[in-house]
Amino acid sequence: MLKSLARAALGAATISARRVLRRAPLVEGWTFREEIVIGLMRPRFARRETVAKSRMALDRLGDQVQNLADWEPVRVGPLEASWAHPKADTQRCGVTVLYLHGGGHCVGSYRSHRAIVERMVAASGASFLVLNYRLAPEHPCPASIADVQTAWAWLLAQGIDPKRAVIAGDSAGGGLTLSSLVALTAAGQPLPALGFCISPWTDLTLSGASHIDNRDFDYLGVADLTGFAANYAGDLPLDDPRVSPAFADLTGLPPLFIQVGGAEVLLDDARMVAARAEADGVSVTLDVWPGQIHVWHGFARIFPAGQAAIEAMGARIVAVCKESV
């Protein structure tokens, strides 16, 4: 514990000194506090831990909840999930969101994403079903896509109106949102009113220039993503459309809304899939937030832009579902 505190103090001092020497933030618009937090995140995220340790560490982050939603664990067929409902004293919009957590397809759960999801619930008034889909390397692609299809069928069987429903996800969950929508479209299933992607990982070949251009700003790195990609792809090539939806035929998908940070390494992943969607005749909105890092929504307790993005997401979910009725 003392060693960790000492490393954090040294890291903060180093970052502070560099900022003083530059006489400017690393990224235009970053506050001093933001630069410290992001700078400390980078070496912590880059530690090479086992998948099991990474899963436990990420789950612990989700325990920092503020009681903004009512949580209700539920079984979705063979899968674990949890409802996150608006509090009784808040306004409900009647929308259902199937939410797919991030974590490189290898880590994460409804527990790890409780803090971010409850803020989304409070901002939208929607009920979120957060799914524990199967993870790699134990269950490589396309296992998680099949799990989303199972969860969607379960929701339809519960009587939800697909016109008042959304499939959404962040990071790897954003990519999984797209891959699952492609699978549901191919199967002729009723589709949700909206697909919402936050900082989606859509190209597991890592071909985007932003992986290099933004590497000094974001806490994600090529080495981290390379390992996740290999685990998730399994025996499939990295450019298989199920693995990397940036290469998929997106024809027939519902409207898409994509939020991405202008300073994150996955910026080009969002640009690629948005361009593909537009070429395939899909209504798509690419919402780039200048100076923001990967899934900055998760830092909403610290960064005002994180909460602002969550509120924008909530407004979009409600608006699109109203338009589709």
pLDDT tens for each residue of 48-82? 578 888 888 888 877 877 889 999 999 999 999 99
**What is the pLDDT of the chain when averaged over all its residues?**
89
pLDDT in tens, 91-135: 789 999 999 999 999 999 999 999 999 999 999 999 999 999 999
Higher pLDDT, 9 or 102: 102
Active site residues: 171, 264, 294
Domain edges within the chain:
1-47, 53-324
What per-residue confidence (pLDDT) applies to 43? Answer: 61
What per-residue confidence (pLDDT) applies to 236? Answer: 98
The pTM for the full model equals: 0.91
CATH architecture of 53-324: 3-Layer(aba) Sandwich (3.40)
Distance set, CA 217 to CA 52, 78, 202, 267, 310 (Å): 27, 40, 20, 12, 21
Coil, helix or strand for 292?
coil
Distance set, CA 246 to CA 12, 149, 270, 290 (Å): 37, 20, 8, 22
pLDDT over 90 percentage in the chain: 71
Cα distance between residue 286 and residue 245, in whole Å: 16
